[in-house]
Structures are given as C-alpha cells and as structure tokens.
Amino acid sequence: MNYSVRALLLLALVFSSQILLAQSGRLRSANKQFDDMSYASAVRMYEEFLRGDKKSNPAETREAMLKLAYSYRKLQDTRNAERVYGDLVKNYDDLNSDVYLYYAQALATNGKYRDSQKMYSRYGEKQKEDMRGRRFTMSYMDMNRFYQDSSSYQMAPLPINTRQADFSPMYYKNGLVFVSARDESGVTKRVFGWNQTPFLDLYFFPDTTQFRQLINNDPAVRPTSTAVLGGGSAVNLPSDATVDDKNLSKAEKFSRTLNTKYHEGPVTFSKDQKMVLFTRNNTSKGKAGKSSDGVKKLKLYSAIDKNGTWTDVQELPFNSNEYSVGHPAFSPDNSKLYFVSDMPGGYGGTDIYVAEYANGQWSTPVNMGKEINTEGNEMFPFVDENGNLYFSSDGHEGLGGLDVFFAELKDGIAYKGVENAGAPINSEKDDFGIITDKNRSSGYVSSNRKRGVSDDDIFAFRKICRQLNILVYDAKSGTPLEGADVRVMRGDVSQVLQITGQDGKADLCLETSADYEFKAAKEGFQTNSVKFSTLTQSKQPVMTVSIYLQRTEGTLMKGVVKAEVDQTPASGVKVTFRNEKDKSEQTVVTGPDGGYEFNMKPGAPYTITAEKDRYATKRAKYEKLKPGRSPKVVSDSLGLYGEGDVFQLKNIYYDLNKFFIRPDAAKELDRVVAILKEYPEMKIELRAHTDARSNDTYNLRLSESRARAAMDYLVARGVNPSRLLAKGYGEAEVVNGCTDGVECSEPEHQQNRRTEFKIVSVQ
C-alpha cells in the first residue's frame, strides 16, 4: 500500500528500539534496505531471514521482527503489522512502549477495537505522559459516538481513481486539482524507493458536475426547494443518466512547470486562484536537497498564474532543510495559511501551524496549540467558507489510522474543542484530505478503505435526509387546512417555518438521529403540536405526520423579533408569553425568521418578553381581550437593542461651525430619552461628526462640543449623566466621500455634520 505524502512528513522520525548490532549477512542486507527507507525490499528480506535462520541469534531474531513490523507499518500493511507486533508482544516482555502503541493502532485499523483498547491500556501504563493511551482506552468503551451520523451520508469513489494513489483534491475553477502516483507514460519509469511506486504529481479534472451521477439516486433526497434542517441545502445528485466512466476518468497533468521528477502536492489556491501554494520535495534548480541526516524533506512553494502558465516559483520563508513543511491550506480571505510541519518544538510527530499573510509578506508561523495538536500526527488541513478548520489526525480518538476532525475557530482558537467527523467520512483506515462546503453537506475526501480501487482514492460524499410530509387538518371536519403555519422545533429552538398548501401539506428534509417538535398554527384555530424522532423511524423513503387543529374563539398572537439597528429578523431570542391571570407561560427560541406564535385566551392580560445575551430585554403588555369580540389574530413585532449597535439620529444636523441643537433635532433626541427611560440599565455613547472643511484640530473640537450639546440636552430631560458618554470624531468618519479637497454641495456636507448614538452596554 502506498503511504504517499503522509509518510514523507514522518521521515525525520527515527525507528526507536533497543537492538543489538546484527552479525548475519542476510540481516545486514535487510538492515541496509531499512536504513535507506526502502521498506518494500526490507520486508521481503526480513521475512526471508526469519524463515531461513530458524536457529539464529535470539537478539537478531528480535531485531528483525521489530524492524519487519515497523516496515509493514510504514507500508500500511496493517494485517501483517498486526501479525508481527502480536508475535512480539506474545514472545517478549521488555519491549519499548512504542510497540504497544503501534500494535494498538494496527488492531484499530483492522477493526479490532476491543483488542486495540487493551493494547492502548498497556501503552498508557508504560507511557503515562502520552495521553493517547488513556484517551483511546476510554474512547473504545463506547463506539456509538463515531456512528451517530453514519446513515446521513452517501459516498462513492470517483472514476478518476487509478490503481496507484489518488488523494488530496482541491477546488480549482470548475474542477479538482489532486495528487496522483499514477503510472507515467514513456519508457523510463521512476519509482519511489519507499514502496516501489511512482512519484507524486499534480493532476486536474476540469468538470466536477459530471460527478453528480455517481451516488445512486435515493428517493428520500429532495430537490433544493424543499426545506432542509441543519443549516444546509438538500443535495440533489441525480443518477438517472448513464455514467460514462471512460470520459470521467480522463484527467490531465495540472502544470508542466510545477510537476517535476520529485513529489508534488497537495496544493491550495488563493481566493482569485491566481496564486498556488504547493508541497514539493526539497529541490534547488532541479537538484534534490537533503538534511544533515541525508533525508529529502518537504517544502512549500508558491507560484503565480501569468496568462495561463504557472511561473515565478518561490520558496516560502519558513522552509528548512532540517524539517518538513507541507500540506498548505489558505483561509477564505487569504489572510492566514495553515500547514503541517515536524519542526522542533511541536507536540508530536507532525503538527498544524498557522502563518499570517498580508501585502505579500509572511509572519512567523505559530503552532495551533494542544487543542488541535497531539502526541500523534496532525495533517492535511482544510479551511471551509466559515473559516473553520478540518484536518486529519491519528492522535485524537478515532476509528483507526488517520481520521478527519473538525474544529470551529474563534480568533484562531478551537474554542469548542475538536470533533470527530464520524462514519462514513471516517473509517478504520486512513481518511484525510477533505474539502467540503460550509455545512459539510457535500464534498470530497481521500481514503484507503476497501471500497477504493487499490490504494488511496478520492471519494465524493453528500449528506442525505429523509422526506417528511406534515399534514394539517381541521380536527372536526377532517379537511386539509391551507395556509397554516408549521414551525419546526428542536429543543424549544425554532428551526424553520413552513406554510401548508391547498392540500394542507408542508414537506421537510430531516436530519437523521434527531428529535423534533412540529407546531401548527392558523387563524381561528388553537395551536397544536406533535413530537417526532428520526431515531425510532425505519428507513422508509417518505414519512408522514398529521396534526389536527381545533376551532377556537381564542386569539392567535403572531409576531417577529427584529434587531432595531437594521430591522432584520433576530434568531436565538427567547420569547416568553405569560398569562398574568393564571401565570401560565408559553416559550419559544426564535429561528432565522425571528417569528413566534402563541395562543391568547380572552379575559386575561398578557406580558411578552424577548431576551438574548448582549441585548436589552424587551417587554410589552397586552390588555384583556373581551370574549366574543376578540380579534382572531394579533400581529406585532418586537425590536431589540444590542450592545455595539450604532444608530444615526437622522434629523440632528448642525449649522456650519455651530454646535447648538437646532429645533428640528429636538424630536429625535426626545426619542433617545424615551429609549433610555424604557431601558434604565442602558448606557450609550453620543458620537458627533463634522464635515471636512476647516482643519482637523478645529473639527475635532467642534465635534466634541456638538456631542456635549446633545448630552446636555438629554441630561436636562432627566437622564443620569453616568449613563452617557460624549465623544467627537471630527472629520474622521465622513459618510459620502466629501473629504479634504473634494468639491461637494452644502446638502452633501450637511450629511457629515451628524450625531449618532452607540449602545455601550445594556445592563
């Protein structure tokens, strides 16, 4: 099996076991191949030695077995690695702790998790500082967490795969650039001594739309018009057309100027795709460079697209002859580069680092820290559209080999920890090189699992869901109800709002392994809800839920919570509707539409409260509704003021070089007084601005006077001055381009002579 670039980054790791010098000629020859990292040849020679020299020196036998097991490990022949490590553990007691670790990893990669758990436990006893022993021992006590979403995805190998390694795709134009060791044309065949396979080059397949035919059609997969829960869109990959494997398998060399006689790949591209960063063996002017220990390390290089040709190949400044640097991944805005290295000072074999990129300059790389990096190997980073990180690791708990992991980043920190992507994206084999959309609803991943052609292969994946038809009926007549609101809830949190059609039906695309509640509401009817779990449902293509509504004399309260600053719907707001007569409450957390619906009984006053962190709590009261004369629907909206919101007081302008409040500004400032009285804990900053005429110092002082004038107006109307901050910004923030030297009309200049208020805190 081809260990590919995964192995190249580990070349600096020295085989560590206490062994005696070999005396046998056969063993010396095998050791020579081992030392040269020609593991395929070393395996053959060690096996011959162990079969032929039955009565050899016991120390030589032990040495041969240790190096044979390690060679199988390097070749990813986990079956034979398990066999030889098993014999070592059975026959020797004084083994290095790494033997138990490698044996545990081989067992897990072969799907023998209980046996692997025992070996991880023994490794943990011998190597207490390495937390992998404890973590994996605990993790393998319950494997269910790795399979929670296993029925949510479909996968298929791409027809561009060959019998050699194909892996690490990256989006480019409408296609994929990927790494391949496929056989070269021509008489001369270059092979990599490690495993006797061809060197790696970059290839390009131009049209990924053709891959949409790969995954068998599932009747549960709905068109994109169907509402989808979980933050994604329904992925519609039809398979009714005939797949032409011959055309699909055609891939071309990506670049004659980038591909050399050594290894290239993986790659990443800048946002405009005019710059490529790629991994390559250490070379200089076509000659291989080596470290002080004689190993060709990996380096990162950049190139620029000039008229369709990649030119100006440059080394990145943090390369080194003494350690490897590779596997680049740009952030969406190109401000950061994530990459892998075994440079000194890391946590384990290979770690993920990040460097900032601005104005063509690179910062000093920074290790991503122990939340991401482990005592094992972290590799193949990818950053999605949201700026969150995917990577592969054999140090975090997984199904075996390299698993794909996800980390949501905030200010460069994995503040929620690291999450295993789970099956089927992960398997007991190596899974790596993922690229995907922001919701992980579709993408590509590399793996050497059995479904592939032979070696590392690229798989397409998509997230699927099950169609659910929600039918809303009149409980008395049984007729379908058109125009009923169907709100989908998960744990009191609103997910989406659907409206029933003429047939009383709304259809949804549900995630698997989730619990839901569906609330139906319609004018003239009492709201009703049903709970539903996909955990207990069979895998039937279409599921149905019926909701029956009783006619009522009560009133339906409907509304939307909006952010006052821009009047957009506010999600994540807890809305509580309280009956002040019987003290009963109805509660919902708003979804993307900011909407809510409640039953309102006549003869009782109600209070509605909207709460969200870092927002001022909004309360409104509703008087008693008279029986028989109540409206069928009460519609309202709630506006929230949030910390950091800036509001322009549109009618507060100033005469040129004046700071007195004009009469036309009084009504607007009175509105601010009303807001501050409604929210007695709120503190604000009054921000005054001038136009660009006069010098900077004068304008700054004038704006300070204007801000102070607005503050004095509020204080005179009863606002505590401790709740107010007045600040002038001069001409620093003009709104229409009327800066120094720009000719503008008087109305245009007046737009810049304005006052704003910013909410500093709400409690």
Between 736 and 650, the higher pLDDT residue:
736
Q: How much is the average pLDDT of 568-579? A: 96
User: Which residue range is the domain that position 602 belongs to?
Assistant: 553-642
Cα-Cα end-to-end distance for the chain: 62
570, 527: one domain: no
The 10s digit of each residue's pLDDT in 732-757 is 889 898 998 899 998 898 888 888 99
- The sheet that has 389-393: what strands, in order across it? 378-383, 389-393, 403-407, 419-420
363 CB burial (10 A radius; 0-12, 13-18, 19+): middle
Contact 693, 745 (CB under 8 A): no
In this predicted structure, what is the pLDDT of residue 618?
A: 96
**Closest by Cα among 552, 547, 563, 567 to 498:** 547
CB-based burial of residue 481 (10 Å sphere; 0-12 exposed, 13-18 middle, 19+ buried)?
A: buried
pLDDT at 282: 67
- What's the pLDDT tens digit per position in 147-158? 876 767 888 999
pLDDT of the residue at 441? 85
pLDDT at 19 over 50: no
Domain end call among 121, 147, 173 = 147
| 157 Cβ neighbours under 8 A, 6+ residues apart | 451, 452, 453, 457, 458, 459, 460
pLDDT in tens, 60-115: 999 999 999 999 999 889 999 999 999 999 999 999 999 999 999 999 999 999 99
Integer Cα distance of 418 and 47 in angstroms: 41
Domain CATH number, residue 51: 1.25.40.10
pLDDT computed for residue 492 by the predictor: 82
Residue 339 to residue 557: CA distance in whole angstroms? 54
The bridge status of strand 606-611 relative to strand 574-579 is antiparallel
- Residue 186 has a pLDDT of 46
Query: Between β-strands 618-622 and 606-611, what pairing exists: parallel, antiparallel or unpaired?
Result: antiparallel
Residue 220 pLDDT > 70:
no
Quickly state the pLDDT bin for 37 (edges 50, 70, 90). confident
| Cα(9)–Cα(297) distance, integer angstroms | 7
User: Do 563 and 597 have their domain in common?
Assistant: yes
The Cα-based distances of 240 to 237, 347, 461, 463, 632 in angstroms read 9, 49, 18, 19, 49
Is the same domain home to 453 and 482?
no
Residue 628: band (very low, low, confident or very high) from pLDDT cuts 50, 70, 90: low
543 CB-near residues (< 8 Å, 6+ apart): 466, 467, 468, 469, 510, 537
Q: Check whether residue 660 and residue 737 sit in a common domain.
A: yes
569 by DSSP, 3-state: which?
A: strand
Q: HSE (CB half, 13 Å, CA atoms) of 746?
A: 4
Domain limit, last residue, from 412, 435, 463: 463
450 and 355 assigned to the same domain = yes
Number of domains in the chain: 5
The pLDDT, as a whole number, for residue 288 is: 54
Distances (CA, A) of 515 to 488, 491, 512, 531, 715: 11, 8, 9, 8, 53
What's the confidence (pLDDT) of residue 668? 83
Residues 485 and 427 in one domain: no
pLDDT score of 642:
96
Same domain for 299 and 330, yes or no, is yes
CA distance 412 to 409: 5
Q: Is 726 helix (H, G, I), strand (E, B) or coil?
A: strand
Lowest mean pLDDT across 397-406, 645-654, 686-695: 645-654
Give me the pLDDT at residue 711, please. 92
CATH code: domain of residue 240: 2.120.10.30
Higher local confidence (pLDDT), 617 or 463: 617
d(CA 755, CA 733): 11
CATH code for the domain of 627: 2.60.40.1120
If asked whether residues 431 and 495 sit together in one domain, one would say no
Can you tell me the distance from the alpha carbon of 607 to that of 638, in angstroms, rounded to the nearest whole number? 12
Tell me how many degrees the CA angle 328-331-334 measures, rounded to the nearest 5. Answer: 95
The CA-based dihedral angle spanning residues 198, 204, 209, 210, taken in that order and rounded to the nearest 10 degrees = -50
Give yes or no: residues 479 and 588 share one domain: no
Domain boundary, last residue among 427, 442, 463: 463
Residue 244 has pLDDT above 70, yes or no: no
540, 578: one domain = no
- Read off the CATH number of the domain in which 544 is found: 2.60.40.10
Contact 441, 462 (CB under 8 A): yes
Same domain, 490 and 615: no
pLDDT higher than threshold 70 for residue 319: yes
31 Cβ contact list (under 8 Å, min separation 6): 22, 42, 67
608 and 504 part of one domain: no
Nearest to 619 by CA among 599, 636, 600, 598: 636
* More confident site: 458 or 246: 458
| Strand-by-strand arrangement of the 606-611 sheet | 528-533, 515-521, 485-490, 493-499, 585-589, 574-579, 606-611, 618-622
Q: Is the pLDDT of residue 641 over 50?
A: yes
Q: Quick: pLDDT tens for 474-516.
A: 999 999 999 999 999 988 889 889 999 999 999 887 766 678 9
* CA nearest to 716, candidates 664, 650, 669, 678: 669
Sign of the C-alpha dihedral computed for residues 502, 503, 506 and 508 taken in this order? negative
pLDDT digits (tens, 9 = 90+) for 157-177: 999 998 888 999 999 999 999
595-600 and 606-611 beta bridge pairing: unpaired
**Which sign does the torsion angle of CA 12, 15, 20, 21 carry?**
negative
Residues 106-147 have pLDDT tens digits of: 999 999 999 999 999 999 999 988 999 999 999 999 898 888
pLDDT at 233: 38
